[in-house]
Structure 1
Amino acid sequence: MVSESSALALSAVWGCTNLLAGTIGSLPLSVYREKNGARYEDREHPLFRVLHDRPNYDQTAVDFLEFMAASVELWGNFYAEIDRGSAGRVSALTPVRPEQMVTRRLDTGEIEYRWTYNGRQKVKRDREILHVRGFGGCPLGGLSTLQVGRNVFGSAQAVDRAAASMFRNGMRPAGAMIFESYLTPEQREIAETRLVEKYAGAMNSGRPMVLEGGTKWQQFALNPEDAQMLESRRFTVEEICRMFGVPPHMVGHTENSTSWGTGLEQQTLGFQKFTLRRRLRRIEQALEQQLLEPADRAAGVSISFNVEGLLRGDSAGRAAFYQTMVSLGLMTINEGRARENLPPVAGGDVPRIQMQNQPITEAGNDNAS
């Protein structure tokens, strides 16, 4: 049996889930409005405070998004009860544990969501539930990683149990005591029970053993390498990372690993493009489809994550980026300062462009503009 607790007890599962959920949870989620071909953050929209600051009374936005991402990764689904105010606008989102939820399609075409909370059964329709589906999901739900990968997780658990047993026994089956003659029942009891109690275990490792009467000790040359224990553990880490789509080096498994680039910025960019992008887009589209009203969509309102923070390079890289953007007129000085959490300066809202590049036919013409 593979459950949430047993799977998360594996360091690789914990590392992958914690990395994905923590990264998604730390990204600002905001509401935007398109106006005159430009896109602006709409802080006045009722959904802005719910998604950006406080989805419900008990959770912050980071708590909520982390639980959402972890639920999708482990169970393939995330559910939240939608509370609407008197005007029909979303006022709160209260998450529901995915293992408690049962879904079915009604004859009316609606989807029914049923779960138990504090001993009471709750039944809601699809308009009252926010449902983010994971990979391969039909309308009733996505595929659960815990179920699809149960063989991978079960093998990893078996390897961990074997390793724990090996360490508990002092990392060796010890060896064999060779006697010159057959033992009496009493002597066999001493050899099999009392000696094991006295010398077995890592705490007793190194204790000298006294043998007499021609008894010989033959050490077994069995170690974790011979048992391929270490190789098996490495393989299970790579298998688990493959299940979650996380590069092994990003969860601390650096042996024989490769990366997308030579710098942290390139590695982060690759992680965002091939792992995070589809997860973020899945969440954004679910929120837009289920939380925005038709009038909002017609007015150009959208919901998206701000991934700019993931792409921040070092000081030299950021300076080169801003210099290029400002010199080409693609960004104003104050826009660059705002990204660095600096106050605006006078005259910094005007786009600027360098004028030294002129047609060759105008070279030497002082009147060239």
Structure 2
Amino acid sequence: MALFSRLRPKNKGADAAAVSPQVREAKASRTGPLIALSSAGRPVWTPRDYAALAREGFSRNAVVYRSVRMIAEAAGSVSWLLHDGAREFDAHPLLDLLTRPNPRQSGNAFLEEVIGALMIAGNAYVEAVGLDGDVRELHALRPDRMKVVPGTDGWPSAYEYTVAGRTVRFDQVGSTPPILHLSLHNPTNDHYGFPPIEAAQVAIDIHNAAGSWAKALLDNSARPSGALVYQAREGGNLTEEQFERLKKELEEGFAGAGNAGKPLLLEGGLDWKQMGLSPQDMDFIEAKNLAAREIALAFGVPPMLLGIPGDNTYANYREASRAFWRQTVLPLVRRTASSLSAWLAPTFGERLKLSADLDAIEALSGEREALWRRVSAADFLTDDEKREALGYGARKAD
């Protein structure tokens, strides 16, 4: 309704109610109605099982857990800068809101939760709680409970949040819609993002299976596989009944990771012959490390920072940490800051822009020192120009 009120003509004459065709026209994508044909007005569930991804990845896999925690904690530790054009704010209601978004969370914890949801679900949802037209609180919502409701233009017109059979609907109206939806690029879905944890699911399965197999071998004395050879003096072969019974006992009692290495009780005429590769020959440890490196690759975390051996991409830990911030953390922080700025700025009536304070990031201190040295050595620049190049304003006159 707010859109229509802005489009209403100013004159009060008899023709005031008749809005001209030019005014009625609105900019819109021509592809939107195509997207809306099969789903307009109906909630669209996320196409993946969030609980399974969280359980098998985040809960059961140490590499995934640590990768998500590292990215979320690093992003949550960022200090914000707020600008309106060239003007920088030392204090502002938006900065206060991000410092304490709600009574139960600090700004760091809030951003950690948002980034963590992006890593596991590919989607993150933030609710704005307003009072008298002002946004007073921000809350991160669980992505597995949220459904997108597409409108007639194909894009989300509302969101539905369901808990224990009860649903709350958030209509996306007003200058600041109640829900901010952050998502990672998904080439196969119009509404939901694609998480790194799903891209790494094969490596996660290998890593988890290798761990389960090694655990089962240790529990069962690490006996290797082999073959049963029948060496009876007469006949030379098992009867059909004996063969089927032995086959059934082997499948039920000795097959699978849970039965790996169990001792086998042999009857008369049966002999055990070892065959195949032992766990040492198969090198489960290296297989696990390879899977771990693939998981780290999907999340953008240098394996060196996770303690995974065999990775010599970076010369030292400092270089790996710098690459982690530059290639993984800061792009996430920038896109989150851009989305928050565009979403919340209308509430404050200003053209506000959030950005990360790079000078406060310890991992980038080497870059900062090198920049200072280069600028300081530039004799063709005045002191004020050097300050401007480093992001500081000119000296104030006394």
Q: TM-score, normalised by structure 2?
A: 0.64
1:81 to 119, 127, 132: 127
Q: Give 1:98's aligned residue.
A: 143
Q: 1:70 aligns to what?
A: 116
Alignment of 1:116-155 (within 5 A): 116-117=162-163, 120-126=166-172, 127-136=177-186, 140-155=191-206
Indicate which of 80, 83, 95 corresponds to 1:33.
83
Aligned pairs for 1:182-197 (under 5 A) are none
- Paired AA for residue 250 in structure 1: L
Instruction: Please state how far the C-alpha of 1:21 moved relative to its aligned partner.
Output: 0.8
Contact 2:128–2:179 (CA under 8 A) maintained in structure 1: yes
Deviations 1:77-98 (A, max 9, x none): 1112101122x22211011100
Report the equivalent of 2:332. Answer: 279
**Residue 50 in structure 1 maps to residue 101 in structure 2:** no
Residues in 1 aligned to 2:319 and 2:66: alpha-carbon distance in whole angstroms: 21
Does structure 2 conserve the Cα–Cα contact (< 8 Å) formed by 1:265 and 1:313? no
What's the CA shift for 1:101? 0.6
Deviation at 1:174, TM superposition (A): 7.7
| Residue segments in structure 2 that go unaligned for 5+ positions in a row | 1-48, 234-245, 254-258
The letter for the 1-side match of 2:137 is A
Amino acid at match of 1:46: P
Q: CA deviation at 1:324?
A: 6.2
In 1, Cα distance between equivalents of 2:231 and 2:194: 62
Q: Distance in 2 between matches of 1:313 and 1:242?
A: 21
Aligned to 2:320: 267
Question: Is the Cα–Cα contact under 8 Å of residues 21 and 69 in structure 1 kept in the other structure?
Answer: yes
Determine which of 99, 110, 113 is the counterpart of 2:159. 113
Q: How many residue pairs get matched?
A: 316
Rate the CA distance shift 1:321–1:239 in 2: closer, same or farther, 3 A: closer
Q: 1:17 to 1:294 in 2, by over 3 A?
A: same
SS of the aligned residue for 2:55 comes to helix
Shift of residue 217, structure 1, vs aligned partner: 8.2
CA 124–31 in structure 1, closer or farther in 2 if over 3 Å, else same: farther
CA distance in 2, matches of 1:246, 1:119: 38
Partner Cα separation in structure 2 for residue 320 and residue 307 of structure 1: 14
Q: Which amino acid aligns with 1:291?
A: L
Q: Distance in 2 between matches of 1:179 and 1:136?
A: 57
For residues 167-190 of structure 1, give each alpha carbon's deviation from its aligned partner in whole angstroms, at most 9, with x where no partner exists. 2222233878999868xxxxxx9x
Structure 1 residue aligned with 2:289, among 234, 238, 242?
234
- Report whether the alignment pairs 1:292 with 2:345: yes
Letter paired with 1:33: H
Q: Which amino acid aligns with 2:108?
A: V
Q: Which deviates further from its counterpart, 98-107 or 262-271? A: 262-271
User: Could you tell me which residue of structure 2 aligns to residue 7 of structure 1?
Assistant: 57
Structure 1 partner of 2:67: 16
Q: Secondary structure at 1:69's aligned position in 2?
A: helix
Q: Distance in 2 between matches of 1:146 and 1:320?
A: 36
Q: Distance in 1 between matches of 2:201 and 2:225?
A: 34
Q: How does 1:151-230 map to 2 (within 5 A)?
A: 151-173=202-224, 222-230=277-285
SS in 2 for 1:136: coil
Checking the alignment, whether the CA contact within 8 Å between 1:171 and 1:223 is kept in structure 2 is no
Distance 1:159 1:141, change over 3 A: same
Alpha-carbon deviations, 1:226-281, whole Å to 9, x = none? Answer: 1242232122112211221222112111314311xx35443333222222232122
Instruction: Report the Cα offset of residue 18 of structure 1.
Output: 1.2
After TM superposition, list the pairs within 5 Å mapping 1:317-336 onto structure 2. 329=383, 330-331=386-387
Match of 1:245 in 2: 300
The letter of the residue matching 1:101 is M
Structure 1: any 5+ residue segments left out of the alignment?
183-188, 206-212, 337-348, 352-369
Q: 1:11 to 1:309 in 2, by over 3 A?
A: same
Q: Which residue of 1 aligns with 2:43?
A: none
